[in-house]
A = this chain, B = another copy of it.
Amino acid sequence: MPSSPGRQRTPRTSLSRERILAAAVQVADERGIASVTMRKVAEHLGVEAMSLYHHVANKDEILDGIVDVVFGEIELPVGQFDWKTTMRRRAVSARHVLARHPWALGLMESRRHPGPSTLRHHDSVIGSLRAAGFSIGMAAHAFSALDSYIYGFVLQESNLPFRTTEELEDMAETIVQRMPAGVYPHLAEMIADHALQPGYAYGDEFTFGLDLILDGLERALLGPGAPARGGPFRQTGADRSAPPPPG
């Protein structure tokens, strides 16, 4: 408890690694990842740039850190529902979190040091799948497929240059203008007869693909038949334990 403030500045021990990361996340959200500089982050905290170096080693640590902060915001799978519901909730949460911090996906490409929240998250997902009966190999398949879909969807969502219907109409007009003689006819049709229809929102596409994958995984889990390809995948026997080192 700060006894006698006297000054308008925040009390002395206000700075901390956590507060710095939180400020960096806020700056990235508001002004884009390129605006995350030591000075801007410090300014956001009412502090000078050099002060940050008493709590973080350098800028890279901040970048690694905020990626982990984002992963920490994703709802962890809890075991009270069936695996499908759990995975769906996790996916929906991940989508919302990543949509709130779209720069996080771009950062992933350049970061090579997963933080504790990230590892915890991955561990929890794999654990849920294993508990549901997926073999190691099938859990890897499921994990990869689900996360790929989630990441890619968010990427497209933040890529498509329209978030409001208004922006979409502007964008559509721009595209239509670039079709002097009916080039891109199918694109035009999709925009006019689908995307511009009242009530359309790209975000709604998410559940379709998600359920497509979840249902496919369920089929792979229940019926050991060939869920994909028509061939190779079976989840019985050989897959059940650690794969025999070939040769």
**SS class, residues of chain A in contact with chain B:** helix
**Beta-carbon contact of B106 and A109 below 8 Å:** yes
A187 neighbours in B (Cβ, 8 Å): 119, 122-123, 126
- List which A112-161 residues lie within 8 A (CB) of chain B: 112, 114, 116, 119-120, 122-124, 126-127, 130, 136-137, 139-141, 144-145, 147-153, 155-156, 158-159, 161
Query: Is B186 touching A123 in the complex (CB atoms < 8 A)?
Result: yes
CB atoms of B202 and A144 under 8 A apart: yes
Any B CB within 8 A of the CB of A232? yes
Contact A109 B119, beta carbon cutoff 8 Å: no
How far does the alpha carbon of A189 sit from the alpha carbon of B123 in the complex, in Å?
10
User: Is A123 in contact with B209, judged by CB distance below 8 angstroms?
Assistant: no
Q: Is A215 an interface residue (CB 8 A)?
A: yes
Task: Specify which of B153, B184, B218 is in contact with A232 (CB 8 Å cutoff).
Answer: B218
B212 and A127 within 8 A (CB): no
Interface presence of A168 (CB below 8 A): no
A residues sitting closer than 8 Å to B (CB atoms) are 32, 102-103, 105-106, 108-112, 114, 116, 119-120, 122-124, 126-127, 130, 136-137, 139-141, 144-145, 147-153, 155-156, 158-159, 161, 175, 178, 183-187, 189-190, 193-195, 197-199, 202, 205, 207-220, 227-229, 232-233, 242-243, 245-247
